Structure 1
């Protein structure tokens, strides 16, 4: 009975290790890297939109506080 337990335990551990290694290896394939780059690009675009929106809002606050009505020539 003890031997059967260790055989089952070893087989289960082996399957789990192989699955983890396969998943990790997929991350380094061209498809995996492209997927990661797409995700990073999307997050970067969202972040940049937030930065631009916040900068415009802050500029408006400063212009109102300083009494500047004219907008700079962008």
Structure 2
């Protein structure tokens, strides 16, 4: 009787795992993964641009405060 219960539990867990993997594959399939990587790359590029702009503004402020020309 115990073996039947464990067998049923194993089959249930296996079926649930296969369903979750299939769902994840559809979500993060080739198109979904490419889209996610593209969005991440765009976000990183936008962040880097914002940091560069801030650095240039700060450098201009410091140069003006010190009276140094480029």
After TM superposition, the score normalised by the length of structure 2 is: 0.64
Alignment pair present for 1:16 and 2:13: yes
After TM superposition, the score normalised by the length of structure 1 is: 0.61
Q: Which runs of 4+ in 1 moved over 3 A?
A: none
RMSD: 2.8
1:55 to 52, 57, 62: 52
Q: Count residues in correspondence.
A: 64
Question: Partner of 1:43 in structure 2?
Answer: 40
1:21 Cα deviation after fit: 4.2
- In terms of fraction of residues, the more helix-rich structure is 2
